[in-house]
Homo-oligomer: A and B are copies of this chain.
Amino acid sequence: MNSKKIGVLGGGQLGRMLVEAASRLNISVTILDSPVNSPAKQIQATSTHVHGDFKDPLKIQELAQNVDVLTIEIEHVDVEILEKLFSKKSVEIHPHPYTIRIIQDKFLQKTHLSQNEIPVVDFIDIPDKESLNIAIEKFSYPIMLKSKLLAYDGRGNYVINSEDEITDALKTLGNFKIPLYVERWTPFVKELAVMVIRSVDGVIKSYPVVETVHKENICHLVIVPAQVDGVILRCAKEIAEKAIQTLKGAGIFGVEMFLMKNGQIYINEIAPRPHNSGHYTIEACETSQYENHIRSILNMPIGSTSLKVPAAAMINVLGKSEDIHETLGPCVEALTTPGATIHLYGKKECRKGRKMGHITVVADSISQLYKRINPILNIDDENDTSTTSSKNIQPLVGIIMGSDSDLPTMKACAEVLKSFDVPFELSIVSAHRTPMRMVEYAKTAHVRGLKAIIAGAGGAAHLPGMVAALTPLLVIGVPVKGKSLDGVDSLYSIVQMPRGVPVATVAINNSTNAGLLAVRHLGAFMPSYLQKMQEFTERQESEVLAKVDKLDQVGWENY
């Protein structure tokens, strides 16, 4: 496919998964890392790897001599030698060394982003104790003190809550031996992340927006698609792509973001390489982040970044202690979980907090996804609530009605969806009194992730038909019986739609059937709902048959 040889600085799990992707394309990869048996080297037997530190300029040079393209799986490498090699043009380097330099230094990174009008939280340089006091005065407690360099997975961060903690904070972060800066405290409601791929000629493509849950500053759980409004999804995607547009060189980038209560999104940090929040792409997307990194740095066509399953999760397998068996608890559970794939990284020593592997789970819906991952997460820590805090599932069905007077009729529909475990939303949208709200609701419904809309209305009952005219989704209409004409007015207004704009109409006042129709709609593609619908009809049948028995036993006079 491509005869260029790739050299990777770093041979951990990210390198390992890069090798996996490269092997399938028969692309040669050589690893630079100290352990002879590092995760990436274990699965690549055809290269003579370089054994040494990825910060060692001589070793980097040695690697460069044997390959055509250099890339990284960790950003804490020696940039100076990369810059030298780059200027000599003796080897291609992706991403560009200057990009790595910017990202290595978190203060430089934030400055770069903010100069390019990418939203980041407020930050101030802290060259000395004096400037720390100024920052505290400006931002007030708590503030986040950070090392500019070598900070990851919570290392190099200190949250200062009061004056008492200043001394300890400075001591912990090395008393200015490593340069420091301060960030304004950011009480986010969710963390989002997007993997963005940049081609050699600067074309940008991104993966779906995910939500990430961190535990003790280490990524613990990733859910895709992120359970936030479609408008926020679009916004997060745009910010992430815009940020990567400002950087040089090809490759995959992980963009981590904070979502605030008011919908504001800030970039937290960028990784210039495959990222933990993109592991899920191996099983859940049409092309993995690893393969796309390989493709982009070799100037091959970028593969599709679309999801191929409706929902997926990634759970990190973090060392619980030095005991590997204790650590593998979630994996044992995953072996019996449908849709789960286990990735272990071949690390010889297990340590508390060390990333030993991960588990990807795919599912036909977010509801099924949570059913599948909950047992895996529970084994990890039964009393943990942080991992479920993000469990606000986005609705699959929207129930709307023209007026609150329709609610008694439409309640039955909500109850059906609840009993079938279908996530839904319910609101008032009036065609005649809130026409613009109706337009907004219908136009954005499919973008927000809805799969069907159930609309109830009475009398002139324009709501279902007007909504159907504004959405490509399936619209189910419920004619609500008014004071005159016995509901025939509503029925005709809903069912007699012109050619081109269909409404699936149910019986007058029969919102139960609207709910059941929505379940049948979902069931055609989500096997778990089809199964439930079959159980429901069997239950219905046996209920009637029980009445047959009773009638036979007690006779019609006594029934």
Q: Which residues of A contact B (CB under 8 A)?
A: 1, 20, 23-26, 37, 41-46, 283, 286-287, 291, 295, 300-301, 303-304, 306, 308-310, 328, 331-332, 335-336, 338-346, 357, 362, 446, 451-452, 469, 472-476, 491, 495-508, 510, 512-514, 516-517, 520-521, 523-525, 527, 530, 533-534, 537, 540
Contacts and interface: CB of A to CB of B under 8 A. Distances in A.
Given A306-B527, A495-B507, A521-B521, 4 more contacts: A308-B309, A472-B534, A497-B510, A499-B512
Given A495-B506, A499-B512, A500-B512, A472 B530 contact: yes
A346 B343 CA distance: 23
Given A335-B303, A472-B523, A520-B473, A23 B1 contact: no
Given A23-B43, A25-B342, A335-B303, A504 B517 contact: yes
Contacts of A472: 520, 523, 530, 533-534, 537
Contacts of A343: 24
Given A45-B41, A341-B24, A514-B502, A508 B496 contact: yes
Nearest to A525: B525
B507 A504 contact: no
Nearest to A541: B469
A116 B326 CA distance: 46
Contacts of A332: 1
A42 B45 contact: yes
A505 B488 CA distance: 14
A23 B341 CA distance: 12
B502 A506 contact: yes
Number of this chain's copies in the complex? 2
Nearest to A40: B45
Contacts of A41: 45
B540 A513 contact: no
A388 to B, nearest CB: 23
B476 A504 contact: yes
A344 B25 contact: yes
A287 B341 contact: yes
A342 B497 CA distance: 48
B502 A517 contact: yes
A345 B25 CA distance: 8
A507 B516 contact: no
Nearest to A472: B533
Contacts of A530: 446, 472
Given A501-B513, A505-B506, A473 B524 contact: yes
Contacts of A510: 497, 499, 502
A1 B497 CA distance: 60
Nearest to A469: B537
Given A525-B524, A530-B472, A286 B362 contact: yes
A351 to B, nearest CB: 16
A45 B51 CA distance: 15
Given A308-B339, A506-B505, A513 B499 contact: yes
A288 to B, nearest CB: 9
Contact of A335 (B300, B306, B476): B300
